[in-house]
């Protein structure tokens, strides 16, 4: 992602707007903002800030909006998201029904959305939300992502091979990966796939230590699950243990073709879901999948913020100077980190941190929905699994890459389930909105970027744990040197990858979602950076790719 420019570049962008230049040329100083001589003056200064930030965002160059071309390449739309519309016996969409959908997407009119020819079950999830405007940060339509892998590509094949292996490994504890034959076979096959984008070791191999992990060095350090998904959460006057309801072992859904066909038209073929009666710490893929099934959009990031804000001096390392311990986790740019007189609350404090997570989530979802519905319309993995099944059975011929069709993962699935369908951890299979980018990952990219901007990324996380292989307890694991920034990055990827373990997203969806969320957060913070009267040098944080993001105040 791009670092934001300094104030000279800011005003250069504004100068391109001609008639709006005057609104920034007379921008008030910090002192004037802090002590307005009249209410009217204060309101005028507030207007100038709003106009200036809006002008900056509108002057930012429009993003590239390239798709992978699958929708126009295949007349039967087999590479496109079509769930909840009517389908034939092959799971191919009724083209007339799809035409009503395209008409609505092209017009953006509410009446046209209400006239879409729908299937027989669940409703489309808010395609009209793709057109919502934003009042903070960049406009959603100016977001930009590379296109997702095309249906026939080696990259799409690798995405799917990984998902078949994840389905086979749902009940294997992360702590048992090193000794699991299934994980070893999965790592060997993924190592051989040129389209695989997951992390590898120094020899270019996927190993039990790198498999199913995220980008960046922080994701490869320590336990698979982030400390912020394991540590107890301050809740009212006590602590809430992070033990979650999980699915029953070996209980997967949509393994029979008739059930799969129902889901394509929006019908959930099951009436009830089977859950383990014992809450567990997140110890395997099934647990992670179920934790992000019915979650509130940004609840995990609020929990992480509460954990960070509750760090007490006595829990920190002895090497931390006593005078710094109460403020250990605050960013060095926080104006109250060393203040003798004030603490932050409305600004640069707990209320500030938690409120921004909701704001940036809303912005990330708007940008994500534009990408999903207006541009890419990528088919979900469960639909892709049906395409694989129909090719293997000879019912259809689709241009699927041989890396997938000849994979050991697919062969293992056929032997175990009697079909090549990608089994689902959720009884309803995937949501009724397109796959790319992943919404959970976009929220994670945005929220984690805000948290890294407000807290000290290099702070060492105290009191670390590893979940026991049965998920019933936490085992202390101190001395790992896990840092706040790395564990936040890991958390965002864990939550995105939990949806992959469920069988409803691809790795490339998650990576794109993190990228999009980071961009949204950067634009959001650029708007916010000018709203403070404290002596504040700006925001600084490390992006998911290791890039350094700097956001400077632009007040004159």
Q: Per-residue pLDDT tens for 236-295?
A: 888 999 999 999 999 999 999 999 999 999 998 888 899 999 999 999 999 999 999 999
Would the pLDDT of 312 be above 70?
Answer: no
Q: Is 116 inside a domain boundary?
A: yes
The helix/strand/coil state of 78 is: coil
Task: Give the chain's domain count.
Answer: 3
The helix/strand/coil state of 251 is: coil
Would the pLDDT of 23 be above 50?
Answer: no
Question: Do 338 and 483 belong together in one domain?
Answer: yes
pLDDT of residue 328: 67
pLDDT of residue 484: 96
Average pLDDT over residues 326-349: 86
Question: Do 14 and 47 belong together in one domain?
Answer: yes
Distance separating alpha carbons of residues 207 and 218, to the nearest angstrom: 16
474-476 and 238-240 as β-strands: parallel, antiparallel, unpaired? Answer: unpaired
Among 61, 84, 102, residue at a domain's last position: 61
Contact indicator for 524, 510 with CB cutoff of 8 Å: no
CB-hemisphere CA count at 13 Å for 276?
22
Q: Is 537 inside a domain boundary?
A: no
Q: Is 175 inside a domain boundary?
A: yes
How would you label 312-336 residue by residue, b for 16+ Cβ within 10 Å and e otherwise? eeeebeeeeeeeebeebbbbebbbb
Distance separating alpha carbons of residues 518 and 544, to the nearest angstrom: 8
- Stretch among 234-243, 304-313, 389-398, 500-509 having the lowest mean pLDDT: 304-313
How far is CA 484 from its chain centroid? 18
pLDDT of residue 323: 43
Among 44, 61, 78, residue at a domain's last position: 61
Q: Is 242 inside a domain boundary?
A: yes
Which one, of 371, 366, 376, lies nearest residue 132 by Cα?
366
pLDDT of residue 301: 98
Q: Is 556 inside a domain boundary?
A: no
Pinpoint the alpha helices (H) of 334-401.
350-369, 381-392
Cα dist. 194→158, 198, 220 in Å?
Answer: 8, 11, 21
Question: Do 352 and 467 belong together in one domain?
Answer: yes
- Average pLDDT over the chain reads 89
pLDDT of residue 6: 37
Distance separating alpha carbons of residues 64 and 114, to the nearest angstrom: 30
Distance separating alpha carbons of residues 121 and 221, to the nearest angstrom: 44
Q: Is 230 inside a domain boundary?
A: yes
At 326, give phi and psi (nearest 5°).
-65, -25
The helix/strand/coil state of 472 is: coil
% of the chain residues with pLDDT over 90: 75
Residue 271: cis peptide before it, omega within 30 degrees of 0: no
- Stretch among 168-177, 432-441, 523-532 having the lowest mean pLDDT: 523-532
Question: Do 335 and 419 belong together in one domain?
Answer: yes
How is residue 162 written in tokens?
Answer: 């990984």
Would the pLDDT of 20 be above 60?
Answer: no
Question: Do 265 and 166 belong together in one domain?
Answer: yes
Distance separating alpha carbons of residues 327 and 113, to the nearest angstrom: 51
pLDDT of residue 479: 86
Cα dist. 226→173, 281, 342, 461, 512 in Å?
Answer: 15, 12, 33, 11, 20
Question: Do 33 and 87 belong together in one domain?
Answer: no
The helix/strand/coil state of 72 is: helix
Write out pLDDT tens, residues 51-87: 888 888 888 777 788 999 999 999 999 999 999 999 9
Contact indicator for 178, 524 with CB cutoff of 8 Å: no
Question: Do 55 and 75 belong together in one domain?
Answer: no
CATH of the domain at 265: 1.10.606.10
Question: Do 297 and 370 belong together in one domain?
Answer: yes
Domain that holds residue 266: 154-528
pLDDT of residue 36: 56
Among 17, 38, 61, residue at a domain's last position: 61
Which one, of 20, 78, 75, lies nearest residue 47 by Cα?
20
Q: Is 381 inside a domain boundary?
A: yes
- Stretch among 30-34, 277-281, 431-435, 551-555 having the lowest mean pLDDT: 30-34
Write out pLDDT tens, residues 456-495: 999 999 999 999 999 999 999 988 999 999 999 999 999 9
Write out pLDDT tens, residues 349-397: 889 999 999 999 999 999 999 999 999 999 999 999 999 999 999 999 9
Question: Do 505 and 358 belong together in one domain?
Answer: yes
How is residue 224 written in tokens?
Answer: 């698979």
pLDDT of residue 25: 31
Question: Do 271 and 359 belong together in one domain?
Answer: yes
Residues 6+ apart with CB under 8 A from 549: 1, 3, 4, 449, 453, 518, 522, 539, 540, 541, 542, 543
Between 25 and 513, the more confident residue is 513
Q: Whole-prediction pTM value? A: 0.91
Question: Do 353 and 469 belong together in one domain?
Answer: yes
Question: Do 374 and 250 belong together in one domain?
Answer: yes
The helix/strand/coil state of 460 is: strand
Q: Is 282 inside a domain boundary?
A: yes
């Amino acid at each position: 992602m791009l670092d934001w420019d300094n104030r000279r570049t800011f005003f250069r962008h504004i100068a391109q707007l001609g008639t709006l230049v005057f609104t920034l040329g007379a921008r008030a100083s910090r002192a004037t903002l802090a002590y307005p001589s009249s209410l009217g003056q204060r309101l005028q200064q507030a207007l100038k800030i709003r106009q200036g930030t809006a002008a900056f965002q509108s002057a930012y160059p429009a993003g590239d909006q390239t798709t992978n071309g699958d929708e126009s390449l295949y007349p039967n739309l087999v590479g496109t998201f079509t769930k909840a519309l009517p389908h034939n016996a092959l799971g191919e969409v009724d083209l007339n029904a799809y035409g009503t959908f395209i008409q609505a997407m092209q017009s953006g009119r509410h009446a046209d959305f209400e006239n879409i020819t729908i299937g027989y079950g669940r409703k489309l999830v808010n395609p009209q939300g793709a057109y919502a405007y934003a009042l903070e940060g960049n406009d959603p339509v100016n977001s930009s992502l590379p296109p997702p892998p095309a249906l026939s590509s080696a990259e799409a094949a690798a995405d799917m091979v990984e998902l078949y292996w994840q389905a086979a490994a749902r009940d294997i504890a992360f702590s048992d990966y090193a000794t699991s034959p299934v994980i070893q076979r999965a790592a060997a096959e993924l190592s051989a796939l040129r389209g695989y984008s997951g992390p590898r070791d120094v020899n270019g191999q996927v190993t039990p230590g790198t498999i199913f992990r995220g980008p960046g060095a922080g994701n490869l350090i320590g336990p698979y699950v982030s400390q912020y998904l394991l540590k107890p959460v301050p809740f009212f006057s006590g602590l809430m243990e992070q033990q979650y309801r999980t699915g029953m072992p070996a209980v997967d859904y949509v393994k029979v073709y008739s059930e799969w066909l129902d889901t394509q038209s929006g019908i959930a073929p099951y009436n009830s879901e089977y859950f383990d009666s014992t809450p567990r710490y997140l110890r395997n893929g099934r647990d992670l999948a179920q934790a992000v099934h019915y979650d509130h959009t940004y609840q995990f990031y609020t929990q992480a913020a509460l954990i960070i804000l509750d760090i007490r001096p006595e829990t920190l390392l002895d090497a931390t100077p006593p005078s710094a311990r109460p403020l250990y986790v605050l960013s060095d740019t926080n104006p109250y980190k060393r203040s003798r007189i004030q603490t932050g609350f409305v600004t640069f404090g707990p209320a500030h941190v938690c409120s921004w997570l909701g704001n940036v989530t809303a912005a990330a979802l708007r940008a994500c929905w534009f990408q999903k519905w207006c541009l890419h319309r990528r088919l979900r993995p469960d639909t892709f699994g049906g395409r694989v099944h129909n090719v293997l059975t000879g019912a259809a011929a689709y241009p699927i890459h041989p890396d997938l069709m000849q994979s050991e993962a697919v062969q293992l699935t056929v032997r175990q389930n009697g079909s090549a369908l990608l089994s689902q951890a959720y009884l309803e299979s995937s949501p009724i909105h397109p796959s790319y980018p992943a919404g959970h990952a976009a929220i994670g990219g945005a929220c984690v970027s805000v948290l890294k901007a407000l807290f000290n990324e290099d702070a060492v996380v105290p009191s670390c744990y590893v979940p026991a292989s049965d998920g019933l307890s936490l085992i202390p694991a101190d001395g790992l040197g896990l840092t706040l920034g790395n564990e936040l990055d890991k958390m965002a990827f864990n939550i995105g990858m939990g949806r992959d373990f469920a069988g409803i997203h691809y790795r490339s969806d998650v990576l794109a979602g993190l990228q999009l969320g980071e961009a949204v957060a950067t634009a959001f913070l650029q708007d916010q950076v000018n709203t403070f009267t404290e002596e504040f040098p700006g925001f600084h944080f490390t992006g998911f790719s290791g890039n350094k993001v700097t956001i400077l105040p632009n007040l004159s």
